[in-house]
Chains A and B, each alone.
Chain A
Amino acid sequence: MAREKLRRSLLYVPGNLPALLQNIPTFQCDVCIIDLEDAVPRAEKDAARLLTRRFLDSYRHRNKEIFVRINGLDTPYFQDDLAATLPALPDGVRLPKCESPELVERLDHLLIGFEEEIGCEPELFKIIASVESAQGILNVSRTAQASPRLTALGFSAEDYAASLHIDRPKSGEHLLVPRQLLLMACRAVGIQAIDTVWADTMDMDGFRQECELIKVLGFDGKSLINPRQIDIVHEVFAPKPAEVDYALQVVEAIVGAREQGTGVVALAGKMIDAPVVARAVRVLMAAKSLGMIDTDIDESVIHGKD
């Protein structure tokens, strides 16, 4: 049930800049995405692959998930990106420009091949696919079902707006429909939804407002381009103390119920079932990461131990 991992903050780090790569262990985000795509000029693609590989080889005590953003499947680079970095066992691949389910399927097949070659367990590498255009949004419900590796869908507002021939106003009203379509597609198959980057790193207030908006919409997290944005997402996504208390009660109730041999229980007159428990677990994981509680949360709580 790795799907229940916290993915509130997914920070892009350019793969060609060693001074930034070396700081990946220190950033307090949930995920780092090492970028081989847009942040890396063509002339440095090779250097970026090599640096990323060397960095990941040296980063033995992993303290966050690492995804590698490869170049699009329509470029001459993605094959080398995968070959160079997968042997260092990142947690997954971020696929850009994912306009159709076929692209996810194609990447899925490639990953099967690499997993056999490397000799690691099947489906080790996860996929987060980015939907970046009108076409991608229209295909999104099928894309969401394209592979069991698909952990989340990301949204890229910049490219989406370009595909619609519009500017990108900060207020973001033009993004409401694609955001909600993407979110529904994700929720329909039980995967996570990750919102677009906020490009103006000086406008922290605007960034906070956007975080508040996407939290209300139901997103699980946001892609980030500056480490200073991490704490703000976490603050916005922080559960309220009352939510934490309730989540603790839910978990206590369900654990008690399981001991009695049942998977359903009532708490203060309300039925507690798997989705409620799953939500409680997410709340408690966030609370734990923010130092609000001490207890470690075991994902097996949601469905009981096998």
Chain B
Amino acid sequence: MADTGKTSRVAKNSLGRAIPDSFLGRALRPYGDPFSFRPTGMAASRPVRRVNPGDNKVLGSLREAIEASGLRDGMAIGTHHHLRNGDALLNAVVREIAAMGIRDITIAGSSIHPVHEELIPYIRDGVITRIESGVNGAISRMVSSGELNVPIITRTHGGRARAMMTGDIHVDVAFLAAPTCDRYGNICASKGPSACGVVGYGHSDADWAGCVVAVTDNLVPYPAFPISIPQSKVDYVVPVDSLGDPGKIVSTTTRVTTDPIGLQIAKYAAAVIDASGLLKAGFSFQTGAGGTSLAVAANVRDMMRTRAITGSFGAGGITGYFVEMLEEGLLEALFDVQSFDLRAVDSARRNEAHIEMSADMYANPFNAGCVVNQLDCVVLGAREVDMDFNVNVNTESDGRLSGNTGGHADTAAGAKLAIVVAPSIRARLPIVRDAVTTVSTPGETVDAVVTERGVALNGKYRDIARDLTRRGIPVKTIEQLKDEVYGITGVPRPITFTDKVVGLIEYRDGSITDVVRQVAG
């Protein structure tokens, strides 16, 4: 097993988090601030190639593709997570790799879901020895408790695009699930039995991986379109019977919450947006697909309707809610990195104003300008928030790693107004607390924390307090919120960790906001 950081020296980053100076032999740069770090040098490269008239890209099986790709011990594979918990491809690829006797593989996909718990035996056997991907579910929890030994590096969506561009991660072979594909490798994401709308997270793999394999359960005559990823970036095409379980790929519908607490939070968040003065012609915003976030979107939609405001764009993971706003003329365009429900998939296929957006275009801080920089407002969730407005989305209340940063830190940094919405208490645990277990998103990029008990404002948005109070919204300091919540829950007992670092939380610029240590006992 590789160096785990146990013996390296530790220094505090600007968030006060103890960061080892190296991990897995790689020197770590502690987080300083969101914007100052200047990259130097050239983008990564990969081999040039030539495909001549008459050459065939279609291979008979995953095994043939693995052989053709030249994958061998110690290399990295990439996948995208657009099939979410319905994905069967990553498990199938790893099974095949193991059967071929290949070992010491890094999984450098965009995300790992609970369905990939099937990989656990392959981690135990040494087929997989590193994960450079956010991990949802049992694998990361087992890593946290020492039951599994595989270091995990989680990146933001923009951070993964950046790391592939800079060569911090090199994916040797990308296996891209292609809901529809032709024999020459044009990938269309919005058609087919496994349609997922767009494949925004797969674009970096197509751009930078040493070899790109499209795996499809819907091979169609040339040309497949609308094209998400073009033939010019795809080396091989492998038809398979099924890419996964369509029922788990996208939700049939995503719904506004009916929970009164969620609705109250949404009402307060909408008031913050209104008081910020940003809600005017050209307004752009992004929310998650959770019920409370959608309730904020519903409130914003109502305000835009009433005041006849036309916004410019909605971005991020796209839901039917945003599609409705587009179709109603409240938004001019949608930038879609990931379609969350069937309405979004349908819209991606037929509406030219519904634009597929790569993770690079979405959030990479080291390109010539990403979409998050154009956002007026983003509404984000949180597992924990602390007195510095730092947000944790990576670890659970027991200290175990489980979860991606996703676009959280990217959009918080980019948007003019970043609002974090969360209930103040979840299952008797305080969500607003002295210090978060893990810093996923630095508090200096968070402008407001909205709970059902009130709104805490940060930085330049503190001066909207008066306006909010006038509207009957309780404005409190973050300390007052915490005290109120601790008054109900009591002070949470601290979690004890060993010194062993099991995972890194990498910021979008490649610096380290936090590390995850093994939970003791």
Using a CB–CB cutoff of 8 Å, the interface residues on chain A facing chain B are: 22-23, 25-28, 58, 63, 226-228, 231, 289-291, 294
Contacts and interface: CB of A to CB of B under 8 A. Distances in A.
A28 B264 contact: yes
Nearest to B484: A25
A22 B488 CA distance: 8
A25 B488 CA distance: 11
Interface in B221-266: 258, 260-261, 263-264
Given A228-B258, A291-B470, A291-B471, A26 B488 contact: no
Interface in B146-178: none
Contacts of B263: 227-228
A291 B472 contact: yes
A279 B474 CA distance: 27
B453 interface: yes
A63 B469 CA distance: 14
Interface string B462-502: 00000000111010000000001001100000000000000
A73 to B, nearest CB: 32
Contacts of B470: 291, 294
5 A-B pairs closest in CB distance: A227-B260, A291-B471, A26-B452, A291-B470, A291-B472
A27 B453 CA distance: 9
B267 interface: yes
A226 B472 contact: no
Contacts of A58: 487-488
Interface of B: 258, 260-261, 263-264, 267, 425, 452-453, 470-472, 474, 484, 487-488
A228 B487 contact: no
Contacts of A294: 470
B472 A22 contact: no
Nearest to B425: A22
Contacts of B474: 63
B452 A23 contact: yes
15 contacts: A22-B425, A23-B260, A23-B261, A26-B261, A26-B264, A26-B452, A26-B453, A27-B264, A58-B487, A227-B264, A228-B258, A228-B263, A231-B267, A290-B472, A291-B472
A226 B474 CA distance: 21
Nearest to A23: B261
A267 B261 CA distance: 45
Given A23-B452, A228-B258, A231-B267, 8 more contacts: A23-B261, A26-B261, A58-B487, A227-B264, A228-B260, A228-B263, A290-B472, A291-B471
A305 B484 CA distance: 37
B255 to A, nearest CB: 14
Contact of A289 (B258, B472, B488): B472
Given A58-B487, A231-B267, A289-B472, A25 B453 contact: yes
A150 B425 CA distance: 37
B279 to A, nearest CB: 16
Nearest to B454: A26
Max chain B CB contacts within 10 Å: which of A289, A290, A291, A294?
A: A291
A231 B260 CA distance: 11
A11 B332 CA distance: 41
B265 to A, nearest CB: 9
A294 B453 CA distance: 22
Nearest to B468: A291
A289 B261 CA distance: 20
Contacts of A226: 260
Contacts of B267: 231
A63 B484 CA distance: 13
Contacts of B472: 28, 289-291
A202 to B, nearest CB: 9
Contacts of B260: 23, 27, 226-228
Contacts of A289: 472
A276 B263 CA distance: 37
A233 to B, nearest CB: 14
Nearest to A63: B474
A26 B425 CA distance: 12
A290 B471 CA distance: 6
Contacts of B258: 228
Contacts of B425: 22
B302 to A, nearest CB: 12
A285 to B, nearest CB: 12
A26 B473 CA distance: 10
A200 to B, nearest CB: 14
Nearest to A291: B471
